[in-house]
Chain A
Amino acid sequence: MKKIKLIDIASARSGDKNNICNIGVMAKTKEDYSILKEKLSAERVKAHFGNLIKGKVIRYEWDALESLNFVCHEALDGGASRSLRIDTLGKNFSSHLLRMELEV
């Protein structure tokens, strides 16, 4: 087993819908997608964001794009127009997730 960072095998883009943030995680290769499917669970994502995500995290598999989509509820401090955060739109949820370490 070795440790890698998610950014080594994937890119990500995140955005807002009211208080929900979704993070699309796109594998670089088909092999990387298999690793994502096996290692990157909704529970791990929720734990990685601690206090930032107050609700549930749902994972969707999107094989055609070799991507996982994480829909994070109660994640944006009430939503962009209510939030006291700097990242009101959750654009940097992607970057925080890309820093996650995985054992492969």
Chain B
Amino acid sequence: MDKKTVRIAGTQGFYGDSPMGAIMVAMQGAADYLMHDALAELTLSILQKDKLKDPSLGYARDIEFHAAKLYPVCLGKGIKVVTDSGGLNPHSAAKKVKAILAKQGIEEVNIAAIDGDDMMDKLEQLKADGLPLLNLDSGEAYTDSVYEPTHANVYIGAQCIKDALEQGADIILAGRVADPCLALGILAYEFGWDLAGKTQEELDRMANGIMIGHILECGGQASGGNAYSEWLGRDYKFSHLGYPIAHVESDGSATITKLENQGGKVSRNTIREQLVYEIHNPNAYITPDVTVDFTNITVEETGENKVRVGGARGKQRPEQLKLCIGQMEGYMSEQLFYFSWPYAYDKAKAFVEAAKETWAALPFQYDELRVNYLGINGIHEDVAQPINKERIDEMNEVGVRIAFRHKKPHVGKLLIQSVVCLGLNGPPGMNASMNWGKAASMRLGLFPTLIPREYISPQITIY
């Protein structure tokens, strides 16, 4: 058996993640590839807002810092970077990275932009072609939607990553490649895997590749972050967390580890926690390249910060690809404020009562109001564990959060400003720390649906 091992580090879990984990891995030469996932379901809507303001934007902007501080280290050590940070504008992202590197005297670099996932300009054609475009969650037809689309991107698979690496890319800036397919594309290139999935052996190693990608795609969540299973008796630091690194073999099985001189932990528990994250049916995890059965995987601790994984089974890939359409559905606004002992909760409720009376008399209205009492029912709302009156009366402080859904952007701020007078006119001692009446946030809906593969042809451009 081929003893070659490919090392992939999952060093970015979201747009805005710390670059330090990636920089440490690169400086220590502890990986052959950095896999960076910048695109959560919502991120493309955020990027669309950037792009509307400035057509040269629309990519995850942390690549600008990466191009200044991280990529030069990677290039010096022969480490390649594979990311979906190209977002809605991979070409512009590639040009920007190229320019930032050139300023540092780095000219000999191949940067691949991958697009073809963006269907924004083709939505009308999809409708005209008579595709059903049914919502995967609710079953409603997209043609019945009354909202303006903000973005429309198809989850594409690993072939484009493999192809870009074959064309000599050092840095890949893709659009909406499905998160775990970033890893699968790297492995397909390195081990010469055929992604057609014609045999069970091919399907199984692809399934393992997806499992590796899934373990790595959320960065520090696989190496000790966000883990209840390690909370009691925690024996590692959250600061300077070492991000997960997979040492993958030619059959797709791997050992997950991390840098020894960094925080965090890789244990069977931390890997289990990441494996269950955002998975639905473990027998049928659907990706563009392969449907994965995780039910018989092996997850074994083989040493300190070393966990062996393998045994995923592959099934045929889905006929259609997932298209996620963002929709502009209005606005939301929020305000926080606080009351102290004595009568903290009673004062908070009296404030809210007076505020509701004030709002009822205004000539503009909200569509929905949410009131949460922080410390009492903030996070779990109606089903929060009840607290008895005696304990409530002894509480040092109670926070109040009001949130509105509204149609016009300025209405939330007006509603919040209309009750600031209760700071003087209302219950004693209201604190609102530093702000009152922030600008509204856009309320974006996601419309997930399916389209045939024939509509998608990813394009690779090397800069």
**Complex contacts, A91 vs chain B, CB 8 Å:** 226
- B228 adjacent to A12 (CB under 8 Å): yes
- With A51-B382, A92-B379 known as contacts, the answer to whether A81 contacts B45 (CB < 8 A) is yes
- A84 adjacent to B405 (CB under 8 Å): yes
Query: B131 at the A/B interface (Cβ < 8 Å)?
Result: no
User: A5-19 interface mask toward B, CB cutoff 8 Å, 1 = contact, 0 = none?
Assistant: 001000111011111
Query: B279 at the A/B interface (Cβ < 8 Å)?
Result: yes
Interface residues in A50-67 by Cβ distance below 8 A to B read: 50-52, 60, 62-65, 67
- B444 adjacent to A60 (CB under 8 Å): no
User: B279-307 interface mask toward A, CB cutoff 8 Å, 1 = contact, 0 = none?
Assistant: 11111000000000011111100000000
- B383 adjacent to A84 (CB under 8 Å): no
Stretch among B30-38, B269-277, B417-425 lining the A interface: B269-277
Could you tell me the distance in whole angstroms from the C-beta of A95 to the nearest C-beta in chain B?
8
| Interchain CA distance A13-B276 in the complex, whole Å | 7
- With A50-B383, A87-B379 known as contacts, the answer to whether A98 contacts B277 (CB < 8 A) is no
Q: Give the residue of A86, A96, A98, A99 whose beta carbon is less than 8 angstroms from that of B372.
A: A86
- A60 adjacent to B273 (CB under 8 Å): no
- B448 adjacent to A82 (CB under 8 Å): no
- B280 adjacent to A69 (CB under 8 Å): yes
Q: Give the residue of A18, A28, A95 whose beta carbon is less than 8 angstroms from that of B448.
A: A18
Binding site secondary structure of chain A = mixed
**Complex contacts, B378 vs chain A, CB 8 Å:** 86
- A22 adjacent to B295 (CB under 8 Å): no
Q: Give the residue of B137, B228, B273, B278 whose beta carbon is less than 8 angstroms from that of A19.
A: B137
- A51 adjacent to B273 (CB under 8 Å): no
| Interchain CA distance A104-B227 in the complex, whole Å | 25
- A82 adjacent to B329 (CB under 8 Å): yes
Q: Give the residue of A12, A19, A65, A84 whose beta carbon is less than 8 angstroms from that of B275.
A: A65
**Residue from A71, A81, A87, A91 having most chain B Cβ neighbours under 10 A:** A81
- A84 adjacent to B370 (CB under 8 Å): yes
Q: Give the residue of B269, B282, B379, B405 whose beta carbon is less than 8 angstroms from that of A26.
A: B269
- With A22-B279, A52-B381 known as contacts, the answer to whether A79 contacts B445 (CB < 8 A) is yes
**Complex contacts, B188 vs chain A, CB 8 Å:** none
**Complex contacts, A52 vs chain B, CB 8 Å:** 380-383
Binding site secondary structure of chain B = mixed
- A64 adjacent to B379 (CB under 8 Å): no
- B41 adjacent to A80 (CB under 8 Å): yes
- A13 adjacent to B228 (CB under 8 Å): yes
Query: B332 at the A/B interface (Cβ < 8 Å)?
Result: yes
| Interchain CA distance A52-B280 in the complex, whole Å | 19
| Interchain CA distance A86-B335 in the complex, whole Å | 12
| Interchain CA distance A65-B275 in the complex, whole Å | 9
**Residue from A11, A63, A92 having most chain B Cβ neighbours under 10 A:** A11
**Complex contacts, B383 vs chain A, CB 8 Å:** 48-52, 96
**Complex contacts, A98 vs chain B, CB 8 Å:** 228
Query: A20 at the A/B interface (Cβ < 8 Å)?
Result: yes
Query: B443 at the A/B interface (Cβ < 8 Å)?
Result: yes
Query: B99 at the A/B interface (Cβ < 8 Å)?
Result: no
- With A12-B228, A65-B299, A85-B370 known as contacts, the answer to whether A22 contacts B278 (CB < 8 A) is yes
- B294 adjacent to A64 (CB under 8 Å): yes
Could you tell me the distance in whole angstroms from the C-beta of A55 to the nearest C-beta in chain B?
9
* CB-nearest residue of chain B to A92: B379
Q: Which 5 A-B pairs have the closest CB atoms?
A: A24-B276, A11-B229, A11-B228, A81-B444, A84-B370
Could you pull out 25 A-B pairs where Cβ atoms are within 8 angstroms? A11-B227, A11-B231, A11-B269, A13-B226, A13-B276, A22-B278, A24-B272, A24-B275, A26-B272, A52-B381, A60-B280, A60-B281, A64-B299, A65-B276, A65-B299, A71-B280, A73-B137, A78-B445, A81-B444, A81-B446, A82-B444, A85-B370, A86-B401, A91-B226, A94-B228
Given A24-B275, A82-B329, A99-B385, 7 other A-B residues pairs in contact with their CB atoms under 8 A: A18-B446, A60-B282, A64-B297, A69-B276, A79-B41, A84-B370, A94-B228
B interface list, Cβ under 8 A from A:
41-42, 45, 137, 226-229, 231, 269, 272-283, 294-299, 311, 326, 329, 332, 368, 370, 372, 378-383, 385, 401, 403-405, 443-446, 448
